[in-house]
Amino acid sequence: MRAARFYGRRDIRIEEVPEPSIGPGDLLLKISAVGICGTDAHEFAAGPQMFPIDHPHPVSGHVGPMIPGHELAGVVVDKAPDVAGFEAGSLVVSGAGISCGTCHWCLRASTNLCERYSTLGLHQDGGLAEYAAVPASTCVDASGWGISADTAALAQPMSIAVHALRRGRLQRAESAVILGAGGIGVFLTYAAAAWSDQVFVADLDRRRLQVAESLGATKTVEVGGETSIETVLDDNRTIPSVIYEVSGSAAGFEQALRLAQRGTRIVLVGLQHGHKQVDPVDISLRELELVGTSAHVCSLDLPEALRLLASRDGGWTDVAPQALSLNELVSDGLEPLAENRTTRIKTLVDPWVDTARATSA
Asked if residue 102 and residue 178 are part of one domain, the reply reads no
The answer to whether the beta carbons of residues 179 and 252 sit under 8 Å apart is: yes
Query: Based on the domain organization, do 244 and 127 belong to the same domain?
Result: no
Supply the pLDDT for residue 170.
Answer: 97
Q: Residue 219: CB partners within 8 Å, gap ≥ 6?
A: 200, 201, 232, 236
> Closest Cα to residue 301, out of 85, 110, 134, 76?
110
Average pLDDT of the residues of the chain:
96
Residue 120's Cβ-count burial label (10 Å; 0-12, 13-18, 19+) is buried
18 in the same domain as 150: yes
CB atoms within 10 A of CB 140: 21
Give the residue numbers spanning the domain of 171: 158-292
Summarised one tens digit per residue, pLDDT across range 281-312 is 999 999 999 999 999 999 999 999 999 999 99
Q: Which residues contact 104 (CB under 8 A, 6 or more apart)?
A: 115
Please compute the mean of the pLDDT values over residues 170-185 and round it to a whole number.
96
| 268 pLDDT higher than 90 | yes
Answer yes or no: is 300 within a domain. no
CATH of the domain at 6: 3.90.180.10
* 26-48 confidence digits (pLDDT tens): 999 999 999 999 999 999 999 99
Span 254-269, average pLDDT: 96
Q: Are residues 13 and 150 in the same domain?
A: yes
Count of domains in the chain? 2
What is the predicted pLDDT for the residue at 275?
86
Between vectors from CA 179 to CA 176 and to CA 183, what angle results, nearest 5°? 105
pLDDT, tens digit, for every residue of 271-283?
888 888 899 999 9
Q: Domain for residue 34, yes or no?
A: yes
Q: Which pLDDT score, from 0 to 100, does residue 246 have? A: 97
Q: Which residues pair with 169 in a beta bridge?
A: none
For residue 194, how far is the Cα from the chain centroid? 19
Burial of 307 (0-12, 13-18, 19+ CB in 10 A): middle
Same domain membership, residue 171 and residue 143: no
pLDDT of 273 reads: 85
Q: Which of 336, 357, 340, 329 is nearest to 67 (CA)?
A: 329
Residues 282 and 326 in one domain: no
pLDDT band at 322 (very low <50, low <70, confident <90, very high): very high
- Please state the pTM of the whole predicted model: 0.96
Q: Are 117 and 165 in the same domain?
A: no
What are 69-123's pLDDT values in tens digits? 999 999 999 999 999 999 999 999 999 999 999 999 999 999 999 999 999 999 9
Q: What's the longest Cα–Cα distance across the chain?
A: 61
Do 14 and 40 lie in a common domain?
yes
On whether the CB atoms of residues 277 and 93 are closer than 8 A, the answer is no
Asked if residue 34 and residue 136 are part of one domain, the reply reads yes
Count how many residues are written for the chain.
Answer: 361
Residues 6+ apart with CB under 8 A from 179: 185, 202, 203, 229, 243, 244, 245, 246, 247, 252, 255, 256
Asked, for residue 129, whether it belongs to a domain, the answer is yes
Residues 23 and 149 reside in one and the same domain: yes
Residue 141 forms part of a structural domain = yes
Does residue 309 sit within a domain?
Answer: no
CB 133 within 8 A of CB 20: yes
Same domain, 138 and 21: yes
Q: Tell me whether strands 91-94 and 71-79 are parallel, antiparallel or unpaired.
A: antiparallel
Share of the chain above pLDDT 70, in %: 100
Q: Tell me, what's the pLDDT at 276? A: 87
How far is the C-alpha of 134 from the C-alpha of 127, rounded, in Å? Answer: 9
Domain assignment present for 92: yes
Same-domain pairing of 261 and 120 = no
Count of C-beta atoms within a 10 Å radius of residue 104: 10
d(CA 65, CA 67): 7
pLDDT at 30: 98
